[in-house]
């Protein structure tokens, strides 16, 4: 039976955009705490409900299954919950705090809200969700010209959040790789990190060796 190899040290890893059972197995072996499934048709990491169900059922106990959705309506949430065994919903669109509460009530699951940062002006949005969402994903705001809300491999100035206090759990994302994650953790104090494109050989294609190297780098940080 496939088991999750838990990291010895504190920072937990989420690998997002899994598309194959081999991806799930690689993430579990590497010691990640979360696996992310993307439900956004414009993404190269998009999966159907049937594909997602197979991937979720392949996950070993202890690997949390997170659904990334973008401005989902109630019908989409109902279909998702009926088809896929999940542990968390990740809102990655322009959802408001009120909509977040509605999603939590409708699904019965904890809700993570992604907030994109580019400069200090974006911190107000982050503050609006800190303590409201069950977790906050602090990500890089997409550059103009892309239709993808995340998974673009771009970062932001980590000093924007250095020394901040948080009401609840949060996760750092945006341009992370095995080469820079130790510095990101040092500057921000992140106890959770999330990435997708940083462990891919091409858009949407996960690389097991890169996944292992990233998790090793987190453990060594």
Question: Domain spanning 12-220 has what CATH number?
Answer: 3.20.20.70
Q: Quick check: pTM over 0.85?
A: yes
147 vs 63, higher pLDDT: 63
CA distance 156 to 118: 6
Residue 150, classed as helix, strand or coil, is coil
Q: Report the alpha-carbon distance of residue 74 to residue 112 in Å, rounded.
A: 17
DSSP H helices, 133-202, are 181-188
What's the pLDDT tens digit per position in 150-163?
A: 555 567 999 999 88
pLDDT digits (tens, 9 = 90+) for 10-61: 899 999 999 999 999 999 999 999 999 999 999 999 999 999 999 999 999 9
Which of 133, 169, 209, 159 has its CA nearest to residue 11? 169
Q: How far apart are CA 173 and CA 184, in angstroms?
A: 10
Question: pLDDT-derived band of residue 8, with 50, 70 and 90 as boundaries?
Answer: very low
- Over residues 54-110, the pLDDT tens digits come to 999 999 999 999 999 999 999 999 999 999 999 999 999 999 999 999 999 999 999
Q: What value does the mean pLDDT of the chain take?
A: 91
Spatial distance between the Cα atoms of 120 and 117, rounded to a whole number of angstroms: 8
């Amino acid at each position: 039976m496939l088991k999750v190899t838990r990291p010895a040290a504190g920072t937990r890893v989420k690998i997002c955009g899994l598309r194959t059972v081999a991806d799930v197995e690689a993430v579990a072996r590497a010691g990640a705490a979360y696996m992310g499934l993307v439900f956004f048709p414009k993404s190269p990491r998009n999966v159907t409900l049937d594909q997602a169900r197979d991937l979720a059922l392949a996950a070993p106990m202890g690997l949390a299954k997170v659904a990334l959705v973008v401005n989902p309506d109630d019908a989409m949430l109902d279909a998702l919950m009926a088809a896929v065994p999940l542990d968390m919903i990740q809102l990655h669109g322009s959802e408001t705090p009120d909509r977040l509460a509605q999603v939590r009530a409708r699904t019965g699951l904890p809700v993570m809200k992604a907030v994109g940062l580019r400069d200090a002006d974006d911190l107000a949005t982050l503050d609006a969700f800190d303590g409201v969402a069950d977790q906050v994903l602090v990500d890089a705001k997409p550059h103009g010209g892309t239709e993808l809300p995340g998974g673009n491999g771009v970062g932001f100035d980590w000093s924007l959040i250095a020394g901040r206090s948080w009401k609840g759990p949060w996760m750092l994302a945006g341009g992370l790789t095995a080469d820079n994650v130790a510095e990101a953790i040092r500057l921000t104090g992140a106890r959770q990190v999330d990435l997708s494109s940083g462990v891919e050989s091409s858009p949407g294609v996960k690389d097991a060796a890169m996944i292992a190297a990233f998790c090793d780098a987190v453990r060594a940080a």
